[in-house]
Amino acid sequence: MKGLLIKDILNLKNYMKQLILVFIFFVAYGIFLKNGTFVGSMTTMMLSMQVITTMSYDEYAKWDKYALTMNINRKDVVLSKYVFFIICIVAGIIIGDIVSLAINSFADVPLSIQEILMISITIPCIFAILFSIVIPIVFKVGVEKARVVMMAVFFIPAILVFAVVKMAQKANIPMPDEATLDMMFKFGLVGVIILTILIVFASYKISLSIYNKKEF
């Protein structure tokens, strides 16, 4: 397991300069917008995507075929991707929060503790859920064939949320009061965390089932 994780990290070394440049762009744009939340969100998304990048490297190098000739079982191969995925998300949360708080403080953007917690938990959970849908598909059909599905997984929910917000505005649906929002915040975050854990676990089980049946 440890060796597989080190292999994925080393694979990203050649890609590191590009990641740093993209990160610098996000930071610069976030400062321009005076919006640290943007930087935190995009950083988490960028790092979450790296699990797909490592799978792309593996596919190009035909790593799986080679790995299975050694003393490596299929469960470890799949599990290593999910552990790497979780590490990337946690790194995204830490780096994103630090930069986000720095930019918001510099731009004098007031954020309550509730707002910070909501952003720090909800956004990574959303990305975790979306990539949990994508990863089994990549295991099934490969990175190249999964790109269209990946785009759909990310854009369709965004379009649906936008449509629901617009419909609510047109229907003049009132915003919930402060007490209701506070209750939604407390129970909503717990629900999102539990849902995310269940979906990631289910995604792992599906990926493992796919990988166990796959021939290389």
Is the pLDDT score of 176 beyond 90? no
- What is the token pair recorded at 90? 């946690």
Q: What's the pTM value of the predicted model, to 2 decimals?
A: 0.83
Q: Which of 45, 49, 56, 48 is nearest to 139 (CA)?
A: 56
Cα-Cα-Cα-Cα dihedral sign, residues 19, 24, 30, 33: negative
Let me know: does 38 contact 30? Beta carbons within 8 Å: yes
Q: Count each helix (H run) and each strand (E run) in the chain, helices first.
A: 9, 0
What are the tens digits of pLDDT across the range 26-75? 888 888 877 778 888 888 888 988 999 899 888 888 888 887 788 788 99
Question: Which CB contacts under 8 angstroms, 24+ apart, belong to 27-34?
Answer: 27/99, 27/103, 30/99, 30/100, 30/103, 31/103, 31/106, 31/107, 34/103, 34/107, 34/109
Most confident among 7-21, 84-98, 157-171 (mean pLDDT):
84-98
Residue written as tokens 């799986």? 64
Tally of CB atoms within 10 A around 83: 18
pLDDT at 113: 60
- Report CA-CA distances (Å) from 89 to 4, 142, 160: 18, 22, 24
pLDDT at 189: 76
Q: What Rg value do the Cα atoms of the chain yield, rounded? A: 19
What are the tens digits of pLDDT across the range 187-196? 677 888 899 9
Q: How far, in Å, CA of 86 to CA of 128, rounded?
A: 8
In 107-142, where does DSSP find H-type helix?
113-141
Residue written as tokens 């598909």? 137
Mean pLDDT rounded to a whole number for the chain: 81
